[in-house]
């Protein structure tokens, strides 16, 4: 691994800002730490551009971690800003009280005390805490003595309602916390638990993600209680992939959206119902950012009967193929659009955007066709409009947290 790391450092392009190492063993980690000044930057002037190195510790065993405990030097190198922790890494907690962003994930904890003791080690300093994919085998959770004075963001993803309730009961004043709940995978909450959690414990909920299972649970009913008076700023909805969408879902989601006047960003996955999109577009005054994944069916079927919305500043069209006819509809509906984010940038998208929507200041892409790259370079010198438009690579702006547990 020593030689491999040295070779990698020699060849890494200057524009690379992040490297992720996966499946490292202890010897590999020792080698990496010896080569790098820290896990946040590379050693040497030629690598000062590096922003961060992420390491995914999937292959560690407890005996390996015990051997690392004897090396203070290695521990200092491991003090990174953002850490993913599985159950094994909880045993390292006492040496990492400087962590600011913590993701606890994929733990099957037979004793809840293990998690609670770990949380206590960083509760005073942590600013971002995410608890994800936790299985708790007993229901007695006592964190009444744990406070988070510096917490700015709290996220629960796919966890039992007992964990959410325990955290919210002891930290009732969350007005200054960006509080997120991600309910993406089936099976962790019943409808009754979900409704009770949302209605009675999440008054300050900031960001809500609902996957297909929970959308069906919450909205596929004739008499659905959709009066959740949150102060949502971000909403992600992944709709059930069904050929004949339920009219109940459509009607209840529309009512839910009307009751969320503070939403700034909505992300739709697999939306094929323009009846839902229209009220979102026309009736939420604070909305300025929309993201669509898999919108081909939506554009085929809809007339886009929307009044032009001057407040929409960014739209992400993250389907693999975008037609110019679809783009034209978007530009008409969002005359003040500043940022267009597409999955694959083509020559035709660049040309049409530059010539027809002069308000655009940034075109972002995840993939770019070779012809489009060459065309963009030639445009720079011939079109005044392009001088004010930044064309840049950007990985998907939203994080789609609908994942299965990794095999460890």
Burial class (CB in 10 A: 0-12, 13-18, 19+), 394: middle
Give the pTM: 0.61
Could you tell me how many residues make up the chain?
A: 408
Per-residue pLDDT of the chain (408 residues; tens, 9 = 90+): 445 655 565 565 555 555 555 545 555 555 555 555 444 433 322 333 333 444 444 334 444 444 444 443 443 444 333 334 444 444 344 434 445 556 565 555 545 565 666 667 667 777 777 776 666 555 555 555 677 777 777 777 767 766 776 666 655 555 555 555 555 444 456 666 666 666 666 666 777 777 776 777 777 777 665 556 666 777 877 766 554 567 777 788 877 887 777 888 888 776 666 667 776 777 788 888 888 876 655 555 555 556 788 888 998 888 777 888 888 888 888 899 999 998 888 888 988 888 888 888 888 888 888 888 888 877 776 666 566 778 887 765 443 332 323 332
What's the half-sphere exposure (Cβ side, CA atoms, 13 Å) at 334? 23
Question: Strand ranges (DSSP E) for 174-308?
Answer: 178-183, 205-210, 234-238, 265-269, 289-293
Do 255 and 228 contact (CB within 8 A), yes or no? no
Question: How far is the C-alpha of 125 from the C-alpha of 140, rounded, in Å?
Answer: 26
Question: How far is the C-alpha of 35 from the C-alpha of 243, rounded, in Å?
Answer: 54
The DSSP output letter for 289 is: E
Whole-number pLDDT of residue 208:
76
**Residue 84 burial (CB count, 10 A):** 18
Question: How far is the C-alpha of 151 from the C-alpha of 131, rounded, in Å?
Answer: 14
Whole-number pLDDT of residue 168:
65
């Amino acid at each position: 691994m020593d030689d491999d790391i040295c070779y990698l450092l020699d060849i890494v392009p200057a524009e690379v800002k992040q490297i992720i190492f996966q499946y490292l063993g202890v010897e590999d980690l020792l080698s990496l730490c010896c080569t790098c000044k820290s896990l946040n930057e590379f050693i040497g002037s030629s690598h000062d551009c590096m922003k961060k190195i992420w390491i995914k510790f999937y292959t560690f065993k407890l005996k390996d971690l015990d051997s690392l405990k004897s090396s203070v030097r290695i521990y200092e190198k491991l003090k990174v800003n953002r850490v993913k922790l599985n159950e094994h890494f909880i045993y390292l907690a006492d040496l990492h009280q400087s962590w600011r962003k913590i993701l606890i994930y994929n733990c099957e904890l037979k004793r809840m005390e293990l998690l609670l003791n770990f949380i206590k080690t960083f509760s005073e300093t942590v600013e971002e805490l995410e608890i994800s994919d936790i299985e708790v085998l007993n229901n007695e959770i006592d964190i009444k003595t744990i406070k988070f004075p510096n917490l700015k963001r709290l996220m629960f993803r796919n966890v039992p309602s007992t964990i959410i309730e325990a955290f919210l009961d002891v930290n009732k004043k969350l007005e200054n916390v960006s509080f997120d709940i991600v309910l993406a995978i089936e099976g962790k909450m019943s409808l009754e638990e979900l409704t009770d959690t949302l209605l009675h414990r999440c008054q300050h909920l900031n960001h809500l993600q609902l996957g297909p299972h929970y959308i069906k649970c919450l909205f596929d009913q004739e008499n659905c209680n959709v009066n959740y008076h949150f102060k949502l700023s971000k909403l992600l909805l992944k709709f059930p992939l069904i050929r004949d969408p339920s009219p109940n879902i459509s009607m209840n989601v529309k009512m839910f959206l009307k009751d969320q006047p503070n939403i700034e960003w909505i992300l739709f996955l697999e939306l094929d119902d323009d009846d839902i999109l229209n009220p979102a577009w026309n009736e939420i005054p604070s909305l300025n950012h929309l993201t669509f994944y898999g919108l081909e069916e939506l554009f085929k079927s809809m007339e886009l009967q929307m009044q032009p919305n001057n407040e929409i500043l960014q739209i992400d069209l993250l389907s693999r193929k975008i037609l110019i006819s679809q783009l034209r509809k978007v530009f008409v509906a969002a005359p003040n659009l500043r940022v267009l984010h597409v999955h694959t940038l083509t020559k035709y998208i660049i040309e049409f955007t530059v010539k027809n929507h002069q308000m655009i200041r940034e075109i972002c892409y995840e993939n770019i066709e070779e012809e489009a790259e060459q065309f963009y370079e030639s445009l720079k010198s011939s079109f005044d409009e392009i001088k004010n438009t930044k064309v840049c690579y950007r990985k998907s702006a939203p994080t789609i947290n609908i994942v299965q547990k990794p095999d460890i």
